[in-house]
Amino acid sequence: LGKKVLIVYAHQEPKSFNGTLKNVAVEELSKQGCTVTVSDLYAMDFEPRATRKDISGALSNPRLFNYGMEACEAYKKRSLASDITEEQKKVQEADLVIFQFPLYWFSVPAVLKGWMDRVLCQGFAFDIPGFYDSGFLKGKLALLSLTTGGTAEMYSKTGVSGDFRYFLWPLQHGTLHFCGFEVLAAQISFAPEIASEEERKGMVAAWAQRLKNIWKEEPISCTPPWYFGQ
């Protein structure tokens, strides 16, 4: 196959359930002959804040700092901070990007949010115009693999937390699809902390099994009705 996969991984503990899911993905995809790269954000001490330190050259407008505009200019001039350009290179080379994380407040942990804020800059991931179906990362696949504190029942339409698709909207649609990614269905491991050892093994096995045929999967339909109904 020779496909390239980037796993952007956000968990503090290697022995965690998230750590296990990440390891299983590395193992399974490597076995298929894929080249797998892992960005272990906590271990890298990845900087989540978008600041003027991200621009190594002179600012276009030092009097009034506009991060988005400056990052875009710096991308074109190749004067972005090296930790950003290293991640952009990994994304550029990847056929599939997997995000592995525990759900924090219906979203990603801060370190992963910061990765999105800093790495997916204008000029690299999108432009105006040049987003959604014409985003610059088109032709690439993205997949969210996440764990929740709440049960599957809580994340149903009638559940107390609402349908899980609601929290996927800003991440899958507003971030990934906006940048042109084709999005594969999220892998949600519900409430591993309260699951039995048996159930946890089942979740890990399901993920490994899914990865065996991941390259044959069809992306989800990236439209508001997929998330919210008609």
Can you give the pLDDT at residue 222?
83
Query: Average pLDDT in the 100-126 region?
Result: 98
Can you give the pLDDT at residue 114?
98
pLDDT digits (tens, 9 = 90+) for 19-56: 999 999 999 999 999 999 999 999 999 999 999 999 99
Question: Percent of the chain, pLDDT > 90?
Answer: 97
CATH number reported for the structural domain that contains residue 24 in this entry: 3.40.50.360
- Evaluate if residue 101 carries a pLDDT over 70: yes
- Evaluate if residue 1 carries a pLDDT over 80: no
pLDDT digits (tens, 9 = 90+) for 148-197: 999 999 999 999 999 999 999 999 999 999 999 999 999 999 999 999 99
Q: Which domain holds residue 217?
A: 4-228
Domain count, the chain: 1
- Evaluate if residue 230 carries a pLDDT over 90: no
Mean per-residue pLDDT over the chain, rounded: 97
Give yes or no for a contact between 32 and 63, defined as CB atoms under 8 angstroms apart: no
